[in-house]
């Protein structure tokens, strides 16, 4: 390319990888929209001609045409590197859609079927005296049970989980810490029915207590604790060591450093982790069936006698199989989703509010 | 107020690795002592043994004596927390507490150690921010987070935070290495003022800085990578820079190696 002024024999020029111009042929901006419409049309047409019943199949054909067509088109006009880029991008988007569609359809279905059943009456009355084929009745007893059981489980699991995580990150080293980490990992994998059976044999059969919301909460706390430990541990590890050292160098004792510097710095993430754990246990059914038993009446005392809970209520109503029971099941499912969603939103709000501010 | 430090036969380990070997020296009260030397020669490790921060590192272990006036920091029954209240530290990277405001950062050392009245704290915060030449820049936004300040301001905030607990000795671990020349100048001026109250020990990679700010200079070196660092010589800064007694010091200072 450039003139060499070297007097010795110049090296044989190699084919340059440097382009001669910075411009490259590019597909026009509207091509992507056109491709999207085109592949949708092809998908629909193929579906109609081949007589495919399911719209999902139409969509999958359209997605396939979109991915392959985009790759071929870009490869023909713009070149290989851009084509691979386009392929990766469209695969990511398609996978995202495939993942989100079932979720959206589930939400849609629950809302559409659940909304008619949700009313103030439904939220404030129990199923006492309502027969399965009758309209009416409500979920107050189940909502109360879920809130009490989840609260009790949190009261047990959150302090234990937090302290365990603090031990693992700030104090633990060597064998004990490794053993705890191992058992926490094992606990993460415990199926909820096993946790339920464990409490059933320990609390109810061996120690002789009866069915109660508290027994259910014990099983739920077993499920909740490892999640709290894990997420808190990860969050505490993210706190820079420099902050701990800064605090220690001011002559602040270690426990106060953890309490006043480390935990506040990580509080946003810790809250999110706890709320995710709460959301997970709020939807548990198996241990509730085993330990709380279910009840159509309002029982405000979680320490004595059978209670109900939202997931259990949904399960029972669905099992009745009558029209009005189905309606109640959908409405209760909607309330359960809303309950978990509100917890999640609250957690996000707390996390945003408590997160370290950049202050710019 | 300021105290003298006497170190005898100090050796520090990381696990089984010996980081510094058999260091003996003394630090004069109300003066600035600079540690210079190539990377990895143990200057920072040695500095951290002077307020028992070395043992915070997992595997960190110290042998030898560090006398603060006449109390051994490593003697039996000595509480590291009290040591660190007496010997404060400023780190290489500015590290204000991200959850706290500028005001709370300066007050942190006091608040976390006991309770103070609001008016008392107000006075202490203002006095120390003034002492760190930061008051005029932040007095209107004391309740904003400290992490919103520039790097140089953050470092001066950290100095104010360290001086607020009224230590006797102030250790500075390359306090200017993350800062631009203007902020560096501000910190160097500040060091000049602080030495009327504190005994200051500063680690620096910048030899001009050592020459500018310090009264005495200690040169550390290591025989080879993986060998422990050693104190080569210590003396008045003028003497070390103009007439070093050891060849290695002269080579390092004149830029022939390191």
Q: Tell me the pLDDT tens digit for each residue of A96-128.
A: 988 999 999 999 999 999 999 899 999 998 888
- Tell me the mean pLDDT in the region A261-287: 89
Tokens of A239: 């706190």
Per-residue pLDDT, A1: 45
Q: How far apart are CA B44 and CA B91, in angstroms?
A: 10
| Partner-chain contact B147 A250, CB within 8 Å | no
Per-residue pLDDT, A7: 59
Hey, what's the torsion of the CAs at B102, B108, B111, B114, to 10 degrees?
-160
Q: Is B82 in contact with A251 (CB distance < 8 Å)?
A: yes
Nearest-neighbour CA in chain A from B39: distance (Å): 20
Q: Is A184 in contact with A175 (CB distance < 8 Å)?
A: no
| Partner-chain contact B165 A260, CB within 8 Å | no
- Tell me the mean pLDDT in the region B103-130: 88
Q: How far apart are CA A221 and CA A151, in angstroms?
A: 10
Model confidence pLDDT, tens digit, residues B3-18: 889 999 999 999 889 9
- Tell me the mean pLDDT in the region A196-201: 93
- Asked if the C-beta of A271 comes within 8 angstroms of chain B's C-beta atoms, the answer is no
| Partner-chain contact A257 B112, CB within 8 Å | yes
* Nearest by CB: A264 against B85, B99, B146: B99
DSSP B170: E
Number of A/B CB contacts below 8 angstroms equals 87
How many residues are given for chain B? 258
* Nearest by CB: B81 against A246, A253, A356: A253
Residues 6+ apart with CB under 8 A from A23: none
- Tell me the mean pLDDT in the region B139-147: 89
* Nearest by CB: B53 against A173, A240, A245: A245
- Boundaries of every domain in chain A: 31-115, 140-354
Instruction: Lay out the sheet containing B5-14: strands in order across.
Output: B71-72, B60-68, B5-14, B17-27, B229-236, B216-222, B32-36, B199-203, B169-173, B87-90
Model confidence pLDDT, tens digit, residues A241-267: 999 999 999 989 999 999 989 998 898
- Asked if the C-beta of A174 comes within 8 angstroms of chain B's C-beta atoms, the answer is no
Q: How far apart are CA A305 and CA B199, in angstroms?
A: 70
Q: Is the ipTM above a cut-off of 0.90?
A: no
Q: Is B163 in contact with B132 (CB distance < 8 Å)?
A: yes
CA-based nearest residue in chain B for residue A255: B112
End-to-end CA distance of chain A: 50
Per-residue pLDDT, A111: 94
Report whether CATH 1.10.8.350 matches the domain A140-354. Answer: no
**Alpha-carbon distances, residue B220 vs B212, B230, B231, B246, B251 (angstroms):** 19, 6, 4, 11, 13
The beta-strand segments (E) located in chain A are none
Q: How far apart are CA B236 and CA B31, in angstroms?
A: 11
Q: How far apart are CA A265 and CA A355, in angstroms?
A: 7
- Asked if the C-beta of A2 comes within 8 angstroms of chain B's C-beta atoms, the answer is no
Buried b (16+ CB within 10 A) or exposed e, A82-106: bbeebbeebeeebeeeeeeeeeeee
| Chain A neighbors of B86, CB-CB under 8 A | 251
Q: Which band of pLDDT confidence, cut at 50, 70 and 90, is reported for residue A359?
A: very low
Tokens of A345: 């939103």
How many residues are given for chain A? 360
Q: How far apart are CA A313 and CA A307, in angstroms?
A: 10
Per-residue pLDDT, B96: 92
Q: How far apart are CA A133 and CA A317, in angstroms?
A: 10
Domains and CATH numbers, chain B: 5-94+168-253 (3.40.50.300)
Is 80 exceeded by the pLDDT of residue B218?
Answer: yes
| Partner-chain contact A249 B97, CB within 8 Å | no
Q: Is B241 in contact with B211 (CB distance < 8 Å)?
A: yes
Q: Is A215 in contact with A292 (CB distance < 8 Å)?
A: yes
Tokens of B24: 């003996």
User: Of the ranges A6-10, A185-189, A197-201, which one carries the lowest mean pLDDT score?
Assistant: A6-10
CB < 8 Å from B in window 227-266 of A: 240, 242-253, 256-257, 260-261, 264-265
| Partner-chain contact A252 B109, CB within 8 Å | yes
| Partner-chain contact B162 A250, CB within 8 Å | yes
Tokens of A205: 């059969």
* Nearest by CB: B145 against A253, A264, A359: A359
Is 70 exceeded by the pLDDT of residue B256?
Answer: yes
Per-residue pLDDT, B154: 92
| Partner-chain contact A265 B51, CB within 8 Å | no
Q: Is A248 in contact with A254 (CB distance < 8 Å)?
A: yes
CA-based nearest residue in chain A for residue B141: A359
For chain B, list residues whose CB is within 8 angstroms of any CB belonging to chain A.
51, 53, 56, 58, 81-86, 88-89, 91, 93, 95, 97-99, 108-109, 112-113, 144-148, 158, 161-162, 165, 167
**pLDDT top residue among A302 and A360:** A302
Q: Is A196 in contact with A205 (CB distance < 8 Å)?
A: no
Chosen from B112, B158, B161 to mutate, greatest number of chain A CBs within 10 A: B112
CA-based nearest residue in chain A for residue B113: A252
Q: Are strands B229-236 and B71-72 parallel, antiparallel or unpaired?
A: unpaired
- Tell me the mean pLDDT in the region B230-236: 92
| Partner-chain contact A247 B108, CB within 8 Å | yes
| Chain B neighbors of A235, CB-CB under 8 A | none
Model confidence pLDDT, tens digit, residues B33-46: 999 998 888 899 99
Per-residue pLDDT, A313: 93
Tokens of A240: 């820079």
């Amino acid at each position: 390319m450039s003139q060499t002024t070297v007097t010795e024999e110049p090296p044989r020029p190699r084919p340059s990888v440097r382009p001669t111009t910075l411009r490259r042929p590019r597909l026009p901006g509207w091509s992507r929209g056109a491709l999207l419409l085109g592949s949708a049309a092809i998908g629909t047409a193929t579906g109609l001609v081949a007589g495919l019943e399911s719209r999902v199949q139409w969509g999958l054909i359209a997605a396939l045409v979109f991915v392959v067509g985009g790759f071929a088109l870009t490869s023909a006009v713009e070149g290989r590197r851009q084509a691979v880029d386009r392929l990766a991008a469209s695969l990511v988007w398609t996978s995202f859609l495939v993942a989100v569609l079932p979720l959206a359809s589930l939400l849609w279905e629950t809302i559409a079927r659940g909304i008619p059943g949700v009313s103030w009456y439904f939220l404030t009355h129990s199923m006492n005296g309502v027969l399965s084929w009758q309209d009416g009745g409500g979920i107050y007893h189940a909502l109360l049970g879920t809130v009490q059981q989840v609260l009790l489980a949190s009261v047990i699991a959150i302090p234990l989980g937090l302290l365990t995580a603090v031990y693992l990150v700030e104090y633990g080293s060597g064998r004990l810490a490794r053993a705890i980490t191992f058992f926490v990992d094992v606990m993460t994998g415990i199926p909820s029915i096993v946790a339920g059976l464990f409490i059933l044999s320990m609390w109810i059969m061996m120690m002789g207590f009866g069915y109660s919301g508290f027994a259910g909460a014990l099983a739920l706390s077993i499920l909740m604790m490892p999640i709290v430990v894990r997420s808190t541990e990860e969050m505490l590890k993210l706190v820079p060591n420099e902050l701990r050292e800064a605090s220690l160098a001011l002559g602040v004792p270690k426990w106060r450093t953890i309490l006043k510097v480390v935990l506040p710095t990580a509080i946003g993430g810790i809250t999110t982790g706890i709320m995710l754990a709460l959301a997970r246990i709020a939807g548990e059914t198996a241990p509730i069936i085993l330990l709380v038993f279910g009840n159509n009446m309002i029982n405000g005392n979680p320490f004595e006698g059978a209670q109900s809970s939202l997931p259990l209520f949904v399960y029972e109503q669905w099992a009745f199989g009558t029209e009005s029971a189905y309606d109640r099941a959908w409405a209760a499912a909607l309330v359960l989703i809303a309950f978990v969603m509100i917890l999640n939103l609250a957690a996000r709000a707390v996390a945003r509010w408590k997160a370290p501010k950049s202050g710019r | 107020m300021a105290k003298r430090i006497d170190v005898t036969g100090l050796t520090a380990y990381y696990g089984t690795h010996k980081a510094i070997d058999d260091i003996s020296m003394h630090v004069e009260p109300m003066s600035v002592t600079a540690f210079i030397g190539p990377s990895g020669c143990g200057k920072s490790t040695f500095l951290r043994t002077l307020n028992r921060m070395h043992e915070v590192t997992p595997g960190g272990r110290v042998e030898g004596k560090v006398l603060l006036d006449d109390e051994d920091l490593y003697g039996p029954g000595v509480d590291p927390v009290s040591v660190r209240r007496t010997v404060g530290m400023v780190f290489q990277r500015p590290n204000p507490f991200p959850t706290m405001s500028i005001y709370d950062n300066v007050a942190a050392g006091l608040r976390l150690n006991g309770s103070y009245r609001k008016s008392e704290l107000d006075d202490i915060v203002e006095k120390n921010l003034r002492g760190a030449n930061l008051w005029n820049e932040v007095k209107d936004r004391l309740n904003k987070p400290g992490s919103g300040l520039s790097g140089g301001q953050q470092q001066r905030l950290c100095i104010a935070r360290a001086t607020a607990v009224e230590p006797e000795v102030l250790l500075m671990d390359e306090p200017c290495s993350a800062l631009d020349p203007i902020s560096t100048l501000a910190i160097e001026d500040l060091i000049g003022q602080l030495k009327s109250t504190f005994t200051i020990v500063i680690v620096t990679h910048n030899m001009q800085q050592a020459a500018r700010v310090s009264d005495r200079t200690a040169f550390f070196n290591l025989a080879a990578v993986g060998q422990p660092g050693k104190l080569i010589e210590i003396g008045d800064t003028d003497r070390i820079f103009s007439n070093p007694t050891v060849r290695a010091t002269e080579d390092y200072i004149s830029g022939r190696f390191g």
